[in-house]
């Protein structure tokens, strides 16, 4: 039903940017569960690759567009109507460690925005200031500010800028944020999101709730969730081994630090529900509350 509801909505997620900026790496890490090691020797993407991904019943078409100029110039040229129609979000990837390429990237970015404004005027646009890990720590802020100014849009489209790297959690939180803005257009996702907000309101001991795909992409977040994403990703990395060891059993995990309690458990056999509470709350209380929330979400999802 939701699929039908969304079928008229633009659902294309376009990854664009120059060759070797990191598009295919990002796509396969956040949507296909590949590891950083898997993407080390990726070769140039020829033309484009198209895959579909269902997230909370919303079908997305992921387009990973080859970045060599011979391809990009065709995407913004004769193929523009095909490429830029039905776009929900354009994700423009900039390799911020490759200063020489930045002006070429900007040249095609402007052309792409023009076409996007023509064929998908309601699309959102994100610039990923990518490969941040390659910058010296002292340079990071200045590079972010400079690139933001340089990539200011000439058209009326609003552009958001996010620093990212595949070597930390930023790539998951940023792509998760983008996907959340898209799935929240479905009424089912809105209901789930409201249930999480309601839960946090009536259980003030809980400080944050997040739901992740099995690749580690946060699809729902409420309250303070910054601290959850790293343990959640570590948890997901070991989940396959744990679940093959304890077949038939439901696996729940608690992680305690000096100040916090984290609880993880799988819902709908593929999503990871996780919660964080300040340690003033007794563990048993947190476990019971998370159990209740799990049941609610199992029904809604």
Ligand X SMILES: Nc1nc2c(ncn2[C@@H]2O[C@H](COP(=O)(O)OP(=O)(O)O)[C@@H](O)[C@H]2O)c(=O)[nH]1
Query: Which chain residues interact with ligand X by CB under 6 A?
Result: 17, 19-25, 39-40, 42, 44-45, 67, 130-131, 133-134, 165-167
DSSP state of 202: H
Paired tokens of 210: 């997040």
91-218-272 Cα angle (round to 5): 145
Q: Please say whether the beta carbons of 222 and 209 come within 8 A.
A: yes
CB of 175 to ligand X, least distance (A): 12
Count of residues engaged in binding Mg ion, rule: CB under 5 A: 2
167 binds, among ligand X, Mg ion, none (CB under 5 to 8 A by kind): ligand X
Which x/- pattern over 218-257 shows residues binding Mg ion (rule: CB under 5 A)?
----------------------------------------
Helix/strand/coil percentages in the chain, nearest 5: 45, 25, 30
Binds 288: which of Mg ion, ligand X, none (CB < 5-8 Å by kind) = none
> Segment contacting Mg ion (CB under 5 A): 23-31, 70-78, 238-246, 263-271?
23-31
**Which one, 15 or 220, has the nearer CB to ligand X?**
15
Closer residue to ligand X (CB): 167 or 246: 167
Residue 231: CB atoms within 10 A of its CB come to: 17
- CA 261 to CA 259: how far, in whole Å? 7
Residue 21: which of Mg ion, ligand X, none does it interact with, CB under 5 to 8 A by kind?
ligand X
* Residue 267 CB partners (closer than 8 Å, separation 6+): 211, 273, 294, 297, 298, 301
Q: Which is nearer to ligand X, 97 or 253 (CB)?
A: 97
Comparing CB distances to ligand X, the nearer of 25 and 193 is: 25
Pick 126 or 212: Cβ nearer Mg ion? 126
Regarding 21 and contact with Mg ion (CB under 5 A), the answer is no
Q: Supply the minimum distance, in Å, between the C-beta of residue 163 and ligand X.
A: 10
Closest distance to Mg ion from the beta carbon of 72 (Å): 12
Rounded-to-integer distance, Cα 232 and Cα 207, Å: 16
Q: Distance between CA 216 and CA 229 in Å, rounded? A: 8
Mark 28-67 with x for binding to Mg ion (rule: CB under 5 A) and - for no binding: -----------------x----------------------
Instruction: Identify the burial level of 293 via C-beta atoms within 10 angstroms of its C-beta, where 0-12 means exposed, 13-18 middle and 19 or more buried.
Output: buried
Distance in angstroms (rounded) separating the CA atoms of residues 52 and 12: 9
Closer residue to Mg ion, CB minimum distance, 43 or 158: 43
Q: Does residue number 24 form part of the binding site for Mg ion (CB under 5 A)? A: yes
| Cβ–Cβ under 8 Å, residues 262 and 272 | no
**Sites of contact with Mg ion (CB under 5 A):** 24, 45
């Amino acid at each position: 039903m939701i699929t039908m509801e969304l079928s008229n909505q633009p659902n294309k997620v376009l990854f664009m940017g120059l060759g070797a900026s990191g598009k295919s790496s990002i796509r396969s890490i956040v949507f296909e569960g590949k590891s950083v090691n898997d993407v080390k020797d990726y070769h140039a993407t020829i033309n484009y690759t198209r895959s579909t991904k269902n997230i909370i019943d919303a079908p997305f078409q992921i387009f990973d567009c080859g970045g060599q100029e011979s391809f990009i110039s065709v995407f913004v040229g004769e193929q523009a109507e095909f490429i830029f129609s039905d776009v929900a979000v354009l994700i423009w990837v900039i390799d911020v460690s490759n200063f020489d390429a930045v002006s070429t990237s900007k040249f095609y970015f402007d052309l792409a925005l023009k076409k996007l404004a023509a064929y998908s005027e309601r699309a959102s646009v994100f610039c990923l200031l990518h490969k941040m890990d390659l910058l010296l720590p002292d340079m990071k802020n200045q590079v972010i500010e400079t690139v933001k100014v340089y990539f200011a849009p000439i058209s009326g489209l609003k552009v958001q800028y996010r620093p990212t790297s595949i070597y930390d959690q930023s790539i998951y939180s940023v792509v998760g944020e983008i996907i959340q803005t898209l799935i929240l257009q479905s009424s089912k996702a809105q209901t789930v999101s409201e249930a999480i907000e309601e839960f946090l309101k009536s259980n003030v001991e809980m400080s944050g709730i997040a739901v992740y795909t099995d690749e580690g992409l946060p699809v729902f977040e409420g309250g303070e969730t910054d601290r959850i994403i790293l343990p959640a990703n570590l948890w997901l990395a070991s989940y396959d081994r744990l679940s093959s060891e304890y077949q038939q059993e439901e696996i729940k995990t608690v992680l305690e630090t000096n100040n916090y309690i984290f609880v993880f458990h799988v819902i709908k056999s593929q999503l990871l529900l996780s919660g964080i509470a300040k340690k003033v709350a007794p563990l048993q209380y947190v476990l019971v509350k998370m159990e209740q929330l799990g049941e609610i979400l199992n029904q809604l999802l």
